[in-house]
Structure 1
Amino acid sequence: MSRHSKEFKLEAIRLMNEQERPIAEIARELGVKRTLLYRWRDEFNTKSGKAFKGSGRPRSDEMSELSRLRQENKALKEERDILKKAAAYFAKDLK
């Protein structure tokens, strides 16, 4: 079974295609070997929509980071909404 999810692989390919950075740098950032990125890209280019059939298993550190980021995102959205309401309230008083 694959260690990385299909979404992870597709995102890695997107980074390789859209970024003007060395593949080695992208590989370090993602925590994978450069040769693996090339293999994923080749598989995607040859099989297109049928590439990466396995679901993959997210690593536990990736899952905990994802959970933390989702919680942070939720808190930031709540904070933003409160600030929007406060700004509207004080702007109303200025008129």
Structure 2
Amino acid sequence: MSKGICFTDEFKQDAVAQIVERGYAVSEVAERLGIGTKSLYTWKAQSAKSPSVRSEVADQAAEIRRLKRELARVTEERTILKKATAYFARESQ
């Protein structure tokens, strides 16, 4: 029966990066990290399959950043308009 240990996505990406980008052997990385080689091969295959998913996530992150900037701008405009409304309401009395 397996232990059911869950690894974070960051841990998996780092382990795969050691194999793909740094050129370490799968068995060496597996031994150093204390995980099975089958897990590493599975993570490597999953990361190779999903470049479209990664690009979609990057696009979504860019859209989120754009929306946050726009929200900050609109919030600032609203604050300025509230202050102007209060100022002119006092002036008209």
Shorter-chain-normalised TM-score: which range? 0.3 to 0.5
TM-score by length of 1: 0.46
Q: Which has the larger radius of gyration?
A: 2
TM-score, scaled to structure 2: 0.47
Give the number of the structure with larger relative contact order, counting CA–CA contacts within 8 Å between residues 6 or more apart: 1
